[in-house]
Structure 1
Amino acid sequence: MSVLNDFFSKLSTLTGGAAVDHLKMVFTLLASYPLALVYKRLPPHNPNIKHLFSIAIAIIVLFGVFDLADAFYTMLISSLISYAIIYHVKGIWGPILVFLYALGHLSINHIYRQINRISYDRYDPTGPQMVLVIKLTSFAFNVFDGRRPSKELTPYQKSKAIPSMPSILEYLGYLFFFGGFMAGPAFEFMDYRQFTNMEMFRVDNDSIEPDQNNMHLKQLKLVNEYYNKNIPLKGNNNNTSRSFKYYVPNGSIPALSKLGFGIFFIICTMIFGNNYPVNWTLSEEFKAISLFDKLIYIQIASFCARFKYYIVWSIAEGACILSGLGFNGYDEHGNAKWNRVTNVDIVAYETADNIKTLLDSWNMNTNKWLKNYVYLRVTPPGKKPNFFSTFATFGTSAIWHGFYPGYYLTFISGAFVQSIHRTLRRNIRPIFLTPKFSSLKPLYNFLGWLLTQTVIHYIVIPFNILSFRNSLYVWKLLYFCGHIAIILVNVTFWLGFSKVIAQIVNVDVKTKREQVKKWKVERGDFDEGKVAINETGVPLEVDNGSVGLEKEE
């Protein structure tokens, strides 16, 4: 629409040249908040109206705001073909074919974008299609699980299994849900079904025991007394209906807090984020500064590069919370939890003192998809995940992101960093769990945070630059310091440094044992068998912690 395009072009000029499509995305995300309020007021007993609402909003956004009619047709065709495949192919080949088709279709669009050098400042069909692939493939496996005997399923698979094919309308309502079809968050079909038919908010009288002091149960009792709302729910395998009571908690505060995070990072981007572009590392000015200054700039630029993800994911999650989809039950104190569709834990990521915690806090819904529908699916039943499981997961993640060489440089380097992290944590951490060095554990945690953040900022340089040649050029300016560190750590442990660490730990353990023995002898109840030892040979606790060490997390 020319009127909207003119508006966003003028807004781009006023904001100092912000990309038009970036402004459109922010506008769309902010508009989803009033839409969420409208959505909550749709008839609760009629899910079809909710499905139509989401589909209509998707059409308006793609056609009217982004001028991406081709994106809508691409998503619609992919959705209908995937539905037909899983409907007609009953066995394991159903979800496999959907996976191959959806990922293959996305790959074609990735290649088209790359060949035509479409700037990442422009939004094209690959954006919403990446979210769509997660939904289509998880849906296909969930339908397959719904056709399998319950005893063959894991608890997670049982909770997400789809016992019968949904209608086309419900299926498209799920795929085009207004709160996440553009940039996520992705979520499971059964979560959507239980959300739209209000089963997610169901309250059962049978679960309430008035004599218990549990705050959750007390709250549910109040819900039954004061929110006596009944809605019909069709059975899965017949046409019978039943009624149940439901209560939708107020998610306004957590929703607004997510919106606040998003606005905060918008302001950060406008004030100083745009002053530290990663591409400045390709300039002659960057080449001329000292190595220390280069490393400092990399830390700041990589940190600022995350702002756009924080903006999109936080605001989108807030809209989902406001609509009710983010509801995830109650905690032990009776407080509603709103983390069902959380995609990033900003605080956990920025304070992570190890690579595992850092990665677990980032793009969480994609990680969940890769774990449940790739990593565990390619692992034979009853077997532990092996190298092929890891390789298949890595390959799927890489293809899903696209084919820019920078992605692969980051992923491959990241795999080595993860391996080094496991080696260091397994060998170094036990030292700081011993009495002699336990006072230094805060320093260990701080150095772990500093090293983790420094390394991750170094290896994500290609992810932001994309080009193979330019990525290697920047790493060369940094003397490949991150990769050299990886090699040195590997060589050090290959030469037997782990034995030196084991000796340090064992000497301290021996001293500790003598202390424990002396203490128990003085009490007259010495029994060596009561001294708990962890897998590294470190005493965990003796007599409720009177003498002992910190238990490993």
Structure 2
Amino acid sequence: MVVSKLNAATGIPEQNLRLTLSILFAYVIALVYRIALLRPLKTKWAPFIRNLYVVVTGLSISFFFNGSDIKHSLITTNVTWFLCYFGDLIGNRKLACVLSFIFNFSYLLVGYYVTATDEYDIDWTMPQCVLCLRMIGFSMDFMDGAKVLKSSAPVNAEKKTDENNKINTHSGALPTRPIQPISFEKNIQLPTLPPLIETIGYAYFFGAFLIGPQFSFHLYRKFITMTLYADANNIPTGSYRYALKSFLLGALYLGVQQIAVGFFPMSYLLTKEYAAKPFINRLAYMWMAAKFSFTKYLGIWTLAEGSCILSGISFNGYGASGNPEWNGLANVEKMKFEFATSLNQIVGAFNTNTNLWTKIYIFKRLIFLGNKNLSSLGALLFLALWHGVHPGYYLCFSLEYVDIETEKRWVKRLEPYIKPLYDPKNASDSTITILRRLYEFACWFGQTCGLHYAMVPFELLKWNKIVIAYNSVYWIGHIVVFTLLFIDMILPKRRTKKADKATITLDEKVNNDTYINGTTKVKKQ
């Protein structure tokens, strides 16, 4: 009733309103959890009570958003758990993992096929795509747990972490920020199958089940058992301030996007009026339209992150200055994204937890292919399928691969000429400083042009629409990148094998050659 009235008053589609309200409800739920449950409880049932709260509130928000379609997420969560249970029963966790992968991925793809329209669809498939990865990762962690049981290593990772934290506390030292991102730390295997009720809590965690971020069951268990903190009686400060900052920044991004999309709608690329504009104007408009398409993702992820921070699950240890950090589940590094000078940096800054999930559960597990490029292509194909059945996804991700491969080749080729710009010996040379700034601007502009050009099919989805838009700019993005790739192939190599081994580019440091990316389906608010 309330949503219908808001729909009539604002003209915003009802499902868009439900999505926004669901994310805002998560703030209220997180605040109650923070006040009532994020502290020691004088009962052995404390983890159960915390998990039960997450289950009840998560299912409530899911029902508000999905209605009767909540059955899809309930079916996949329960089936995944029982597959793991019977796999453990027969002593074949690998079979359970394979069946879980096939079941969850097939369920999602069938859902896409049944519900797909010509536009982005905000329906039960949106949170289902998040759950699909979560359940696949859960079953893989359970499969990996069998190796832990066979080894002589300790299996109680939570207990070991808790003991280490206590040692640090007693010695006066603060637990430092983990080297591996907290969303998927090392040693996240599951030696034993968690109770079904905990698995449901993990699947429906109120701050992350709708649009992400992804994180391991290992982190969720640390959260409900309070072993995430060195001292459960002394929760680190700053979370309220960071949650408010996330809320305001997310709202600002979405507000800017709402205004900007009125001036630069993607649909304008399909009009005769657009095609009649001067060529430079067409390119500039396409750049702006795609730029603000990205803005909605930055906004909705930042807004959703705030409830994770408020709940306490985002605690990320202490930084070099000794201040607690709450960015453990940040899904986008906003400054890094906005000012990135390479596509590899973009991959490391945008939808970071999905990228990390893909690296751990898909990219690295394709090692049997014996070729990093094949593993990268496999990861990108998986992500394209995960996004849906529209051809725009496949064109976007294939173009992304070619763009990044071309960038990688030219970075290596030009490195001897660029290296002096970053030599500390030249730091005081004003001419070198100016040249470095010009080079960085050129790199920023080049990567944004490639990125925004590739975003067009991701937004337009349908092949006929994509052809109209790209015909208007003569497929210039494809021509440029394939020309650069061809030139690199025919030019003689400048580097020796020894020099290649000794060289580590800035981009490789940032992203370690993992060519993966992805976005969660979010429509304009």
Question: If the length of structure 2 is used for normalisation, what is the TM-score?
Answer: 0.81
Gaps (5+ residues) in structure 2?
154-179, 511-525
Q: Is 1:424 the equivalent of 2:410? A: yes
Q: Distance in 2 between matches of 1:385 and 1:41?
A: 50
Q: Is 1:372 the equivalent of 2:360? A: yes
Residue 438 of structure 1: how far off its partner (Å): 5.0
Q: Is 1:36 the equivalent of 2:30? A: yes
1:139-185: CA deviation from partner (whole Å, max 9, x where unpaired): 111112222147699x9775211221111111101110111111111
Residue 278 of structure 1: how far off its partner (Å): 0.7
Q: Distance in 1 between matches of 2:7 and 2:276?
A: 36
Residue 537 of structure 1: how far off its partner (Å): 8.6
Question: Contact 1:269/1:304 (CA < 8 Å) preserved in 2?
Answer: yes
Amino acid across the alignment from 1:126: T
Which residue number corresponds to residue 258 of structure 1? 246
Which residue number corresponds to residue 461 of structure 1? 456
Amino acid across the alignment from 1:58: G
Is the partner of 2:247 in helix, strand or coil? helix
Amino acid across the alignment from 1:53: Y
Q: Distance in 2 between matches of 1:351 and 1:475?
A: 26
Question: Contact 2:58/2:201 (CA < 8 Å) preserved in 1?
Answer: no
Which residue number corresponds to residue 465 of structure 2? 470
Q: Distance in 2 between matches of 1:184 and 1:163?
A: 25
Q: Compared with structure 1, are the counterparts of its residues 149 and 61 closer, same or farther at alpha carbon in structure 2 (3 Å cutoff)?
A: closer
Q: Is 1:402 the equivalent of 2:402? A: no
Q: Distance in 2 between matches of 1:271 and 1:461?
A: 19
Q: Distance in 2 between matches of 1:272 and 1:486?
A: 29
Residue 342 of structure 1: how far off its partner (Å): 1.1
Q: Distance in 1 between matches of 2:111 and 2:222?
A: 33
Question: Contact 2:207/2:307 (CA < 8 Å) preserved in 1?
Answer: yes
Q: Is 1:104 the equivalent of 2:106? A: yes
Larger Cα-atom Rg: 1
Q: Is 1:84 the equivalent of 2:70? A: no
Q: Compared with structure 1, are the counterparts of its residues 352 and 279 closer, same or farther at alpha carbon in structure 2 (3 Å cutoff)?
A: same
Residue 462 of structure 1: how far off its partner (Å): 0.5
1:323-351: CA deviation from partner (whole Å, max 9, x where unpaired): 10110111232111212211111211111
Which residue number corresponds to residue 59 of structure 1? 59
Question: If the length of structure 1 is used for normalisation, what is the TM-score?
Answer: 0.77
Which residue number corresponds to residue 148 of structure 1? 147
Q: Compared with structure 1, are the counterparts of its residues 188 and 536 closer, same or farther at alpha carbon in structure 2 (3 Å cutoff)?
A: closer
Q: Distance in 2 between matches of 1:269 and 1:318?
A: 19
1:518-550: CA deviation from partner (whole Å, max 9, x where unpaired): xxxxxxxxxxxxxxx964899x9xxxxxxxxxx
Question: Contact 1:254/1:321 (CA < 8 Å) preserved in 2?
Answer: yes
Moved more, 272-281 or 449-458: 272-281
Amino acid across the alignment from 1:47: P
Q: Distance in 2 between matches of 1:342 and 1:358?
A: 14
Q: Distance in 1 between matches of 2:299 and 2:447?
A: 23
After superposition, residues 268-283 of structure 1 pair within 5 angstroms as: 268-283=256-271
Is the partner of 1:247 in helix, strand or coil? coil
Q: Is 1:354 the equivalent of 2:342? A: yes
Question: Contact 1:62/1:71 (CA < 8 Å) preserved in 2?
Answer: no
1:248-305: CA deviation from partner (whole Å, max 9, x where unpaired): 4340111111111111112213333332111110011111101100110011101111
Residue 93 of structure 1: how far off its partner (Å): 2.0
Amino acid across the alignment from 1:465: L
Q: Is 1:335 the equivalent of 2:323? A: yes
Q: Distance in 2 between matches of 1:452 and 1:119?
A: 27
Q: Compared with structure 1, are the counterparts of its residues 109 and 389 closer, same or farther at alpha carbon in structure 2 (3 Å cutoff)?
A: same
Q: Distance in 2 between matches of 1:157 and 1:448?
A: 33
Q: Distance in 1 between matches of 2:199 and 2:347?
A: 31
Q: Percent identity?
A: 25
Q: Distance in 2 between matches of 1:350 and 1:250?
A: 25
Q: Compared with structure 1, are the counterparts of its residues 131 and 482 closer, same or farther at alpha carbon in structure 2 (3 Å cutoff)?
A: same
After superposition, residues 125-140 of structure 1 pair within 5 angstroms as: 125-140=124-139
Q: Distance in 1 between matches of 2:30 and 2:378?
A: 38
1:96-128: CA deviation from partner (whole Å, max 9, x where unpaired): 2111111110000011122xx2742x5211111
Which residue number corresponds to residue 47 of structure 1? 47
Which residue number corresponds to residue 226 of structure 2? 198
Q: Compared with structure 1, are the counterparts of its residues 495 and 167 closer, same or farther at alpha carbon in structure 2 (3 Å cutoff)?
A: closer
Q: Is 1:414 the equivalent of 2:396? A: no
Q: Distance in 2 between matches of 1:472 and 1:26?
A: 33
Q: Compared with structure 1, are the counterparts of its residues 247 and 488 closer, same or farther at alpha carbon in structure 2 (3 Å cutoff)?
A: same
Is the partner of 2:306 in helix, strand or coil? helix
Aligned length: 458
Question: Contact 1:8/1:24 (CA < 8 Å) preserved in 2?
Answer: no
Moved more, 487-496 or 81-90: 487-496
Q: Compared with structure 1, are the counterparts of its residues 536 and 54 closer, same or farther at alpha carbon in structure 2 (3 Å cutoff)?
A: closer
Q: Distance in 2 between matches of 1:30 and 1:5?
A: 14
Q: Distance in 2 between matches of 1:149 and 1:182?
A: 32
Residue 28 of structure 1: how far off its partner (Å): 1.8
1:50-71: CA deviation from partner (whole Å, max 9, x where unpaired): 22222222333233x33x2333
Question: Contact 1:29/1:315 (CA < 8 Å) preserved in 2?
Answer: yes
Q: Distance in 2 between matches of 1:378 and 1:497?
A: 31
Give the alignment partner of residue 24 of structure 1, picking from 1, 11, 18.
18
Q: Distance in 1 between matches of 2:256 and 2:239?
A: 26
Is the partner of 2:210 in helix, strand or coil? coil
Amino acid across the alignment from 1:296: A
Q: Distance in 1 between matches of 2:391 and 2:333?
A: 28
Question: Contact 1:12/1:20 (CA < 8 Å) preserved in 2?
Answer: no
Is the partner of 1:199 in helix, strand or coil? coil
Relative contact order (C-alpha < 8 Å, sep 6+): which is higher? Answer: 2
Give the alignment partner of residue 326 of structure 1, picking from 314, 318, 321.
314
Q: Compared with structure 1, are the counterparts of its residues 152 and 273 closer, same or farther at alpha carbon in structure 2 (3 Å cutoff)?
A: farther
Which residue number corresponds to residue 303 of structure 2? 315
Is the partner of 2:366 in helix, strand or coil? coil
Q: Compared with structure 1, are the counterparts of its residues 492 and 41 closer, same or farther at alpha carbon in structure 2 (3 Å cutoff)?
A: same
Amino acid across the alignment from 1:455: G
Question: Contact 2:381/2:397 (CA < 8 Å) preserved in 1?
Answer: no
1:351-388: CA deviation from partner (whole Å, max 9, x where unpaired): 111110012111111111111001112214xx965344
Q: Distance in 1 between matches of 2:152 and 2:470?
A: 48
Amino acid across the alignment from 1:402: G
Q: Distance in 2 between matches of 1:356 and 1:394?
A: 14
